[in-house]
Structure 1
Amino acid sequence: MNEPFLSAIPIINKLEASGFQAYFVGGSVRDYLLNRPISDVDIATSATPNEVKEIFSRTVDIGIEHGTVLVLYQNRSYEVTTFRTEGEYQDYRRPKEVSFIRILDDDLKRRDFTMNAIAMDRNGQLIDPFNGQTAIQNKVIQTVGSAKERFQEDALRIMRAVRFVSQLSFAIEEETLQALTKLVPLLKNIAVERIRAEFEKMLVGENGNNAIRILLETQLYAYLPGLKNQKIQLEKVICYPFKGLNKLEMWSLLLFTFLIKDKAVEVFLREWKLPVKEIKEIQQILIYLEKRMEREWSINDLYSAGRNAVSSTEKLYGVLKGHTEEDSLSYWLKIYDELPIKQRNNMDVTGRDIIEWFQSEGGPWLKDTLLKIECAILAGDIQNDKEKIKEWLIRCSQK
């Protein structure tokens, strides 16, 4: 056992010392068995939320109605959730009621996939009543119990299954896949924000191509915002070597492939309820990607794009052209890094300086002059030095 489990053992020790059971559960245990990076751990316990709060002095109620308390311990936070069973589900997304229980196996029984229904005690011993280890060894995504029932309980599990195909390079077990295919219309009941979170994780996974292929084969894509009429374009995306692209780059690749441009970009992304900041970043990438597909970078484009947009655009250019060499990316980033200024406020002169030099009131001429200086510095006609800029301006005014 390694970090972050080791740092969390005192939490389990304290719960057990108070007479309760406590185990590591969920994705952290799965990822531990897969030797994947683990960011945080979740703990399940037989203690009720109120009992957890009595044991630990510093807690936060983050989902107490569902049994979850955030325990603050040594500058870290841990989600501690009471063993529970769930009543009848409503709207294919949440249970009408939650009952706290004392039996671990009954808690594991309510989970989505067998690989996520494994518990581990503080000594590293595994409790695996649904053969999750076998599923992991066989690289199979299989529901706990009836696939139909699990997907009808929470239809988001349909997206989670496909997301795990991408992230883990696992295959969906046949019965699970059949139920998924039949029940994809249930996604209409799930909030777009929840679907987007799974979709974005799917896009940046190691095996995103195969996950998109499953979207197509199961007709799942038709129930995702803006994708119903994009079957041919999605088939085209599969052919691109897009592994390694980040979330914004993947959205940009989809939009570029879908031939969605200009104002339609914002309409499409708002349907997915992306944050405004991310929409603007994607729009900027698409502007420069269109230019890059037609010609090489100009100094002015590098400057106006900024390093992040240059990097994303060049990576996408490589994907669309079918090569993954980083020479081109390194070349253009080196040129960008060598620019004498990266933005206007890097200039060693201000509007106030110019007004003082020419003893004139501000006006449109001042904006034009600053732009003229900016272009001259980028072109290498003058150095970014206040005195040299002043001399250059005076000479220009005398011509």
Structure 2
Amino acid sequence: MQIKHLPTLFEPARPVLQKIEAAGYEAYFVGGCVRDTILGDSIHDIDIATSAYPSEIKAIFKRTVDTGIQHGTVMILDHGTGYETTTFRTESGYQDYRRPDKVTFVRSLKDDLKRRDFTINALAMKEDGTVIDLFNGLSDLQNQIIKAVGNPEERFHEDALRMMRAVRFASKLDFNIEDATLKGITDNGELLTKIAVERIEVEFSKLLLGLNPPKGLQYFIDTNLYQYCPNLINYKDALQKLADAHNWSIIKNKQQAWSVLIYALQLTDRGQITSFMKQWKLPNDLINHVQKVIKLVDIIKQDHVDNLALFEAGMDAVKSAVIVAKFFGWPHHDLVDQFDRLPIQDSHQLAVNGGNLIQQAGIKPGPELGEVIARLQRMVVNEQLPNNTEVLIQTAKRIIEKG
């Protein structure tokens, strides 16, 4: 198979492969960039593998950086953009189920490709678009099958994260997992506990944002992988409800995906949300966003949305809350437009600040000042006062006088 018209991302890299070949070595584009090119999906980066050893690459090109020399990876800088090339290699001795104890550089493309995870990722492509398929990856792409290269148990013992990658690809590509590969996941799921949570989270988040999340989630449940992920062991029923949902297409980003998950798990208390998401090593800004969304979704469900609820959530959380409400089938009205009509949309837009109130209203710095500002803010948001400096200062004075 030859791809006649390569995506433009490949063009600047082709001279790198050509120069390596001119020196008498093999060089190929490999992995996901080849798979996605064949599928017609967008590609964001490219991987290059070569029979040339690192020292030989450095002899061919004038400007290189050793970015992962112990694994055979050298970055070539000769052509403006930096391109990493990795020497064909074999690996052995995966004592931690994550990293090889020993890496051996080889000249054989087949030896290099057979250590990869799935046949659809064990494809190589020459710079002219000729595809090299040594493990029937093209057939599996055509038949929409995720199949381990060789023995699934060996592949998952080499890197247990590959089990999460399998269910993630089932969602991302809307492919089915081949029976032997599926059994390998089911039999070895406990190995996932050997993997850093941060790596698991990346795959799980991508699963939630795939082409068919219900398919990925169903595999995630059926193989019991969920039992070996942070704090999900008691939530099979909630995960099943998500797997049975049919409107995942409205979920467009990670904030919305995690908000849907957290609400499905019925974690509504801020402390519960924080504890759960911290176990997944998620960033504080995402945790704060989800907390705001969950609070607002509860208000939406009760049909008690007012200006203050929208103001406290903020525009980003309002947008996510509307999606979550729609996902679960609750009426949400046009809350984004309602937010746009708020007198102020964040605290910085209030026409007074602490300095104004200290100098012109005679309020001393301290807790009382903060309470007065919060009260003025609520009154402006609820359209009880205009957002006018003079009016707000006079109101602040009256508040203080009344104690």
Per the normalisation by structure 1, the TM-score is: 0.90
Deviation at 1:131, TM superposition (A): 1.4
Which one of the candidate residues 205, 209, 212 is aligned to 2:210?
A: 205
Aligned mates of 2:307, 2:133 — CA distance in 1: 59
**Which residue of the partner structure matches residue 28 of structure 2?**
23
- 1:286 is matched with which residue? 294
**Cα distance in 2 between the residues matched to 1:383 and 1:59:** 63
SS of the residue corresponding to residue 28 of structure 2 reads strand
Q: Which residue of 1 aligns with 2:285?
A: 277
Alignment partner of 1:217 is 2:222: yes
Correspondence 1:114 to 2:119: yes
- Single out whichever of 313-322 and 344-353 deviates more from structure 2: 344-353
Other-structure match for 1:254: 261
Q: Deviations over 1:296-326 (max 9, x none)?
A: 4210111111111111111111111278xxx
Q: Choose which of 85, 108, 123 in structure 1 pairs with 2:128.
A: 123
Alignment pair present for 1:346 and 2:342: no
- Residue 197 of structure 1, CA deviation: 1.6
Deviations along 1:33-66, one digit per CA (max 9) or x if unpaired, are: 0010101111111122233334444444332211
Amino acid at match of 1:371: A
Question: Which of 229, 240, 249 in structure 2 is aligned with 1:243?
Answer: 249
Q: 1:202-256 CA deviation, whole Å, 9 max, x = no partner?
A: 1111111111111222222222221212111211122332334222322222222
Matches within 5 A, 1:40-119: 40-72=45-77, 76-119=81-124
Structure 1 partner of 2:382: 379
Structure 2 residue 320 is matched with structure 1 residue 312: yes
Equivalent residue, structure 1, for 2:3: none
2:323 equivalent to 1:337: no
CA distance 1:394–1:225, change in 2 (3 Å): closer
Deviation, 1:270, is 2.3
Query: Higher mean Cα deviation, 36-45 or 74-83?
Result: 74-83
Q: Distance in 1 between matches of 2:191 and 2:118?
A: 18
CA 1:356–1:110: 2 relative to 1, 3 Å: same
**Contact 2:357/2:396 (CA < 8 Å) preserved in 1?**
no
Equivalent pairs counted in the alignment come to 394
1:185 aligns with 2:190: yes
Q: Look up the equivalent residue of 1:16 and give its one-letter code.
A: E
Secondary structure at the residue paired with 1:99? Answer: strand
Give the aligned partner of residue 358 of structure 2: 355
Local SS of the residue matching 1:145: coil
Does 310-319 or 6-15 show the bigger shift?
6-15
What amino acid is the match of 1:221?
Y
Across the aligned residues of Structure 1 and Structure 2, the Cα RMSD in angstroms comes to 2.5
Task: Measure the CA separation in 2 of the matches of 1:128 and 1:375.
Answer: 65
The answer to whether the Cα contact below 8 Å between 2:161 and 2:195 also exists between their aligned partners in 1 is yes
Kept in 2: contact 1:302–1:336 (CA 8 A): yes
Q: For 2:154, give the aligned amino acid.
A: E
Q: Is the 8 A contact 2:161 2:199 kept in 1?
A: yes
Q: Secondary structure at the match of 2:8?
A: coil
| 8 Å Cα contact 2:310/2:318 also seen in 1 | yes
Q: Alpha carbons of 1:243 and 1:322: their partners in 2 closer, same or farther (altered >3 Å)?
A: farther
Equivalents in 1 of 2:322, 2:260: separation in Å?
12
- Using the size of structure 2 for normalisation, the TM-score is 0.89
> How far did residue 397 of structure 1 move?
8.5
2:329 matched to 1:321? Answer: yes
- Separation in 2, partners of 1:203, 1:268: 17
Compared CA separation, residues 126 and 261, structure 1 to 2 (3 A):
same
2:373 matched to which residue of 1? 370
Give the one of 264, 272, 279 matched to 1:264: 272
Q: Hey, what does 2:236 align to over in structure 1?
A: 231
Structure 1 gaps of 5+ residues are none
CA distance in 2, matches of 1:226, 1:398: 52
C-alpha distance 350-115 of structure 1, shift in aligned 2 (>3 A): same
Structure 1 position 168 matched with structure 2 position 176: no
Q: Name the counterpart of 1:38.
A: 43
CA 1:322/1:23 → structure 2, altered by over 3 Å: closer, same or farther? farther
- Could you tell me whether the CA contact under 8 Å between 2:250 and 2:323 is conserved in 1? no
Matched-pair contact (CA < 8 Å) for 1:204–1:244: no
Q: Which stretch of the first structure deviates more once superposed, 354-363 or 254-263?
A: 354-363
